[in-house]
Structure formats: structure tokens, C-alpha cells
Amino acid sequence: MLSNFFLESSRRLPEFDAGQLLDEICIFWVLMAGYAIFLPSTYLPQSWRVQRHRFVYGCIIIAMIITCLSVVYPYANAFALMLLGLPAILFMATHTARCDNYRIKRLGIRCLLLWTIAVTTWICDRIFCRFWLNISFPYLHSIWHVLIMFSSNQVIVICSYLIIKQKHSQAQLDLHYWPYEHLEYFGIPYIKFADDNDSFTKDYIKAMI
């Protein structure tokens, strides 16, 4: 809400772009958190595979440095975010294609489609901003936020499933949708252990805590 307030203020006052900067920094930190949490250890140097906290600390330090540098040239932030988000989407698509769970695969396809629509919306808003303002339709940026929110949630669900299955292939996970199971295309996805009462689930949850 705070970033949206500043964003609308920056649209009214061109010389004040703190809202846009805050908006992009928030998305950047979400991406960095995703890399820190979900990037498999096989992609890390050998020394970081055992001590993953080094990689997490590295992500935090890089995020802090880039956040400070973004103040110097904020106009490059949006394009840097796209370059950072593209490998994450490609990684998710590659590993989802190898998954044997067809519901996860369908969710991955919808996630890619939603992300593509979101990026297209952002590009249209970025390039043709003056046109949309002239026809009194300054809502594309809001639509971008809604679309990227849902696609980000889907990415988190898919990566969570893939990471758990990679580390514990015997884990029984089910994909569900809120508020109703039949709302596969419009519901909010989440994963759940098939049997929360079995000993493996209890031990795994304790280990995660």
C-alpha cells in the first residue's frame, strides 16, 4: 500500500519517483529471496552446498548493494528485474517439465502464461504510458501488479514442491486450490502432505522448524 501510494504520487509529480523506486526494490527483494530459498544446491559451488547459509548471506549482501546503487540510476531497475526474473522462470519451466505430477505441470503452464501476460502488460505500460494516460486508462500498472502477484505465488508453490521432492522423494504431496478444489484455473494453489499424521511428515516438519 505504501509503495502504491508513492507510485501514484510519482505519476502525478514526474520529478518525484520514490514510489516507482520503492515498488521495484520490493519486487527485487522478492526475487533475491526466491533464489536464496529455492535454488538447488547442485547449482552452487561445492563449498556452499554444505554451508548454504553462505549463499543466503551472499544474496542478502548483493541485494543490499544493488538497492543502494539503484538510487544512483533508478531507471535501469525495471529492466534489471526482468533480467533477474527470466532465469528464475526458465529454471522453473525446465524442472517442471521433468516432473511426473501432471497437476504441477498444468500449474507450471498456467504460471508461464500468466507471467507472459504480466510482462506484456508491463511493457505496454512502460512504452505507451503517455497513450494510456491520453485515453484515461492509467490502470495497466495495477493490472501488472495483480498478475505478477498470482504468478509469483504459483512459482513459490511449484518450487516448494520440486525442492521437497528432490530432497525427499518419498514425500507424498498433494496440490490443492483455495477456496474450492474445482477452481483450478482461478483458485489459489498450495501444497499439502498427503497424510499429515504419518511419521515422515511429522519428522520432516520438525526438521524444517
Specify binding-site residues for Zn(2+): 141, 145
Burial of 160: CB neighbours in 10 Å, binned 0-12, 13-18, 19+: middle
Rg (CA), the chain: 19
Give the residue ranges of the annotated binding site.
Answer: 141, 145
- Asked whether the beta carbons of 177 and 189 are under 8 A apart, the reply is yes
Q: Which of 174, 155, 171 is nearest to 102 (CA)?
A: 174
Cite the DSSP H helix spans in the chain. 2-12, 18-38, 46-50, 52-70, 77-97, 102-127, 129-134, 140-167, 199-208
User: Which secondary-structure segment (H or E) carries 170?
Assistant: none
Between CA 85 and CA 112 the distance in angstroms is 12
- Asked whether the beta carbons of 149 and 165 are under 8 A apart, the reply is no
